[in-house]
């Protein structure tokens, strides 16, 4: 079953990330399919991963054991409705869309969908991804294992028992790489504004980000707060920088950003 035929409906950023993880881990490229309306993205999937491609969603999905829905939430209903002719009872449907709750897929497909909702993130493409998974009732252990195996090729996985927890996964992992990108982007901009050239600013900021992330991972016995304290000499430079963040209420800002992220996922669930 781990050698299932998998089709990705929508060959965008997230599909590329997952396919990249699969292929890098030796999943046979001839068992991976991707569809997209525009030929350019399909050509790139062939060039980069040597997988099978098509612009016919229905024919491709019919061929496959696992259907991964990788389109934007706004398009999900129309894409699923066009697949209503499929009998999904012996397939597994995996959706990576943010915000759309599992029960909506039963409406879209006009049948009970064997569904696993996944919330991955883009670091999946380099094997450092984090994916939250939620299975609807009736999904068996073999199907769970299959979804888990697929997503493990891109990094770590975590099952949630309650569907609502997936929105927390979005705030903590699905969307959060963008928070870190924004932070590094801001550091590079400031470095340039303060007189360092962009290439050097980027190298300094990216290496600091990489080192800090790896130190958090390597030091499970230390809290991020302890690691921060180790950098911070009393009366030194770091203390000044950190005090500036605290005066700007960075903690409150991060919390509010995550609350707004979750609220948007809730709103999307009501819209689609």
Ligand X SMILES: NC(=O)C1=CN([C@@H]2O[C@H](COP(=O)(O)OP(=O)(O)OC[C@H]3O[C@@H](n4cnc5c(N)ncnc54)[C@H](O)[C@@H]3O)[C@@H](O)[C@H]2O)C=CC1
Ligand Y SMILES: O=C(O)[C@@H]1CCC=N1
- Residue 68's nearest CA partner among 24, 142, 123, 17 is 17
Residue 139 DSSP class = -
Out of 42, 116, 170, 172, the residue judged to bind ligand Y by CB under 6 A = 170
Is 155 annotated to bind a ligand? Reply is no
Q: Is 11 in the site for ligand X (CB under 6 A)?
A: yes
Residue 37 DSSP class = S
Out of 52, 101, 121, 125, the residue judged to bind ligand X by CB under 6 A = 121
Which position has the token pair 């209503």? 84
Out of 28, 37, 211, 236, the residue judged to bind ligand X by CB under 6 A = 37
- Residue 54's nearest CA partner among 6, 3, 7 is 7
Per-residue x/- track, 76-95, ligand X (CB under 6 A)? ---x----------------
| Strands ordered across the beta sheet of 52-54 | 52-54, 32-35, 6-9, 66-69, 92-95, 115-119, 129-135, 155-159
**Cβ proximity of 61 and 33 under 8 Å:** no
Q: Is 175 in the site for ligand Y (CB under 6 A)?
A: yes
Q: Is 176 in the site for ligand X (CB under 6 A)?
A: no
Is 11 annotated to bind a ligand? Reply is yes
Out of 98, 118, 169, 269, the residue judged to bind ligand Y by CB under 6 A = 98
**Which residue ranges are tagged as binding site for NADPH?**
57
**Which residue ranges are tagged as binding site?**
9-14, 57
Interface with ligand Y (CB under 6 A)? 98, 170, 174-175
């Amino acid at each position: 079953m781990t050698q299932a035929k998998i089709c990705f409906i929508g060959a965008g950023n997230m599909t590329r990330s997952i396919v990249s993880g699969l292929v890098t881990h030796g999943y046979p490229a001839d068992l991976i399919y991707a569809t997209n309306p525009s030929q350019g993205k399909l050509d790139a999937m062939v060039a980069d991963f040597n997988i099978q491609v098509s612009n016919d969603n229905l024919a491709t999905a019919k061929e496959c054991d696992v259907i991964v829905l990788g389109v934007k939430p706004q398009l999900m209903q129309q894409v699923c409705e066009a697949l209503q002719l499929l009998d999904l009872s012996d397939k597994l449907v995996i959706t990576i869309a943010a915000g759309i709750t599992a029960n909506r897929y039963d409406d879209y497909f006009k049948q009970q969908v064997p569904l696993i909702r996944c919330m991955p993130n883009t670091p999946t493409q380099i094997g450092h991804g984090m994916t939250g998974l939620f299975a609807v009732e009736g999904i068996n252990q073999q199907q769970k294992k299959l979804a888990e195996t697929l997503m493990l090729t891109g990094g770590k996985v975590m099952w949630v028992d309650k569907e609502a927890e997936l929105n927390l996964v979005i705030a903590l992992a699905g969307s959060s790489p963008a928070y870190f990108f924004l932070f590094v982007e801001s550091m590079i901009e400031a470095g340039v504004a303060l007189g360092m050239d962009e290439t050097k600013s980027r190298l300094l900021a990216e290496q600091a980000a990489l080192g800090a992330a790896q130190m958090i991972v390597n030091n499970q016995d230390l809290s991020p707060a302890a690691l921060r304290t180790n950098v911070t000499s009393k009366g030194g430079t770091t203390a000044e920088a950190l005090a500036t963040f605290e005066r700007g209420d960075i903690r409150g800002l991060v919390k509010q950003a995550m609350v707004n992220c979750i609220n948007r996922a809730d709103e999307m669930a009501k819209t689609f």
